[in-house]
Amino acid sequence: MIQIGGVKFGEKAVPVIAGPCSVESETQLSCIAKDLKDMGIPLLRGGLYKLRSKAESFQGMGEDGFDLVKKVTDTYNMPFVTEVTDPRQIEKLMPFTKAFQVGTRNMYNYDLLKELGQSKTPVLLKRAFSATYSEFLNAAEYITSQGNESVLLCERGIRTFVKETRNTFDINIIPFLKKHSHLPVIADPSHGTGESYMVLPIAMAALAAGADGLLIEVHNKPEDALSDGQQAVKPEDMRLFLDQAQALLNIQGRHIYGRS
């Protein structure tokens, strides 16, 4: 069992981490945070530093977004989860970040993983899009070997011969990790599919396979998003999904965090 800002992963309650791919403005983040809080979603995600395939793409607000993130998360009392892309960012982000996300490109960045292992702050480790199961678990050991046992394993899809979707979500890995690791396993169907209409059905499949939590991109205006708008779901769709997910989890003797 691992906690992020008091929210427990690995028990019968299944938490959802949600929010935009990137922090774009105070108005944008505040609007989304309010909707998520009203749904009972306990944790807010948002990227301040973004590793993008194209150099001209939006790279995130960086330090310019620090104050607005702190203001929004304090207002709605939502612990914040954000990606760290460089060891030099760790100390700067720690005052308002309750968990560090390691993206797919940095799963092999062992210097970063070791630094995060010494920080004692929970780490959400994403599987690299070409990593084997053993490579993924070995990456987690770089963090835990430094004394930080608070690691969540996140499946975010792999690159295959399929061209119709951004990635192929690997359902197989969820029961595998549940059997071969003591760490909680969460699913990121947003990157796992890259298509908003696929995100929530695959999220449901991940829960059916035993995922301990979900990481989902939600945006109030996906068409205007500065990054990955095509894979963000709208708040109204997320609200309906939570009701449907609750029905599924009832069969398993589990429930969405914040609901009974």
Mean pLDDT over 103-117 rounds to: 97
What's residue 259's pLDDT? 84
Who has greater pLDDT, 52 or 160? 160
**Which residue from 209, 211, 227 is spatially nearest to 219, judged by alpha carbons?**
227
CATH match of 2-256 with 1.10.3720.10: no
Q: Which two tokens stand for residue 154?
A: 């996140």
**Which residue from 41, 50, 63, 44 is spatially nearest to 22, judged by alpha carbons?**
50
Q: Which two tokens stand for residue 149?
A: 């046992």
Tell me what the pLDDT averaged over the chain comes to: 94
Q: What is the pLDDT of residues 4-38, one digit of tens each?
A: 999 999 999 999 999 999 999 999 999 999 999 99
User: With contact defined as beta carbons under 8 Å apart, do 234 and 218 qualify?
Assistant: yes
**Alpha carbon 18 to its chain's center:** 7
Mean pLDDT over 249-254 rounds to: 96
pTM over 0.85: yes
Domain ranges of the chain: 2-256
